[in-house]
Structure formats: C-alpha cells, structure tokens
Amino acid sequence: MKQKMEEVKGFLKSDSSLSWRMAVIEADKLMDSALKRTFTRGETMGERLKVAVFKNPKIRKVWEAHSLRNDLVHESDRRITRSEAERAVKLFEEGMKDLKIL
C-alpha cells in the first residue's frame, strides 16, 4: 500500500491536470482497497465509507476527497487544480493511516 501511495503521489508532480485527476481516482481506489482489507461492509465505496465513519469518526474527512473523485468521474467538464488533487490525496492518505493500513 505504501508503494502504491507513493506512485499516486508521483502523479501530483506532473504539470498535467489529467495526471492530477488520475492521482485522485487512484487514491480513491487505494482507500477502497483499505476499507475492504479491514472487512468494512458495503457494496460500494460510499457504503463502506459510511460504515467506516460510524466505527471511526476520524475517517469523515475522506468524504471530501471521495466527493471530488465522484465529481471528476461523473462530470466530464469538472476541472481540477494541483492543490485540490494534493489535498484529496492527503485526505485519503490520512484516512488509510487512521485505518492503520499505512
């Protein structure tokens, strides 16, 4: 997981908004994998996140990052800045640390 997170952070070094978008999407996938590893119930990432927040309120901050990911995937005209991507990746990383996955 640590290695994959470092790869995700590598996307943030690019000057391409496509890379920043990719960083958020890949960090979201890692967070979902982390939730699955902790046997968090739910059919979707959103459902698993709700359960995780109930068990560990510190995870709540991940919602902001997950919402950005959803915007990026579902709104084709949604633009992203490097700082937005960096913040989202940081929130996902902190969430994984709270789950003791990182």
Number of domains in the chain: 1
Using one digit for the tens of pLDDT, what is the confidence trace for 40-73?
999 999 999 999 999 999 999 999 999 999 999 9
Q: Are 42 and 51 in contact (CB under 8 A)?
A: yes
User: CB under 8 Å to 58, separation ≥6 — which residues?
Assistant: 95, 98
State pTM to two decimals: 0.94
Mapped onto helix, strand or coil, the DSSP state of residue 58 is helix
Domain that holds residue 15: 2-98
CA atoms of 71 and 49, how far apart (whole Å): 17
Statement: residue 22 has pLDDT above 90: yes
Query: What are the tokens at 18?
Result: 């496509």
Amino acid at 42: G
